[in-house]
A = this chain, B = another copy of it.
Amino acid sequence: MTDADVGLRHRKRAAAMARIQAVALDLFDERGYEAVTVEQIAEASDVSPSSVYRYFGSKEQIVLLGEFEFDVSDSRLDDAAGGSPVDVTRQVLRAVMDHLVGDDEERTRRQMRHVMSDPALEAALARQVYAASETLGEVFAARLARPADDLEVQVLAHVVVGALLGGLHHWHGTGFAGPLRDVLDRCLDLLERGLQVGAPITRPTAPAEP
């Protein structure tokens, strides 16, 4: 094994993966996710179908690879030591967003459009998000010195991720208005401020609106 990043082999692989994702996204925009076969993607990307599966594992991961995952060992998590769970989440979020948006904001919207309209993609994303909740739960549990299965820890982790998912849904529902990062930040603000989750429904300030 060479130094792990600077081999012709490694670079070719990375280039092929990027090419496949770009080509696939174009084809999906053109004809829709379901209507495009992996074989067609492979041919248009000058690789064999075998390689596509070797690289991505599944058709969904061509779209989702790397999205909405986070690295527990990210150094920024250490910076949040002593902070609240939401602080920790904000750090995690920053790491996720750098991956997500750092690359290309428009690209994320194109991905989301397909994710939200295809059942298979939606399911794959939902699973990925659920897995992220579990990881976040482990982080919280470690910080709070509680067992990972602790009810409060699990509820907390899933609630935080749920809030972000709500934001994602809002972002999609409003035609992807504004930067995703801001929307998600606002979601965490809402959580911190405390949702009026137990308050009787009397709508505080909302003016009548159809």
Contacts and interface: CB of A to CB of B under 8 A. Distances in A.
Nearest to A193: B198
Contact of A156 (B158, B173, B197, B207): B197
A155 to B, nearest CB: 4
A3 interface: no
A51 B151 CA distance: 41
Interface in A57-98: 81-88
Contacts of A82: 200-201, 203, 205-209
Quick one: copies of this chain in the complex?
A: 2
B170 A151 contact: yes
Interface string A110-146: 0000000001001110110110011001000001111
Contact of A83 (B137, B146, B159, B207): B207
Interface residues of A, number: 68
Contacts of A158: 162-163, 165-166, 169
Given A161-B162, A163-B159, A166-B157, A152 B190 contact: yes
Contact of A200 (B83, B122, B133, B207): B83
Of listed A126, A133, A183, A187, residue having the most chain B CB within 10 A: A126
A195 interface: yes
A191 interface: yes
A142 to B, nearest CB: 10
Given A155-B170, A169-B134, A147 B84 contact: no
A21 interface: no
A159 B197 contact: yes
A82 B199 CA distance: 10
10 contacts: A81-B205, A82-B201, A84-B196, A84-B198, A126-B130, A157-B166, A159-B197, A162-B163, A162-B165, A192-B198
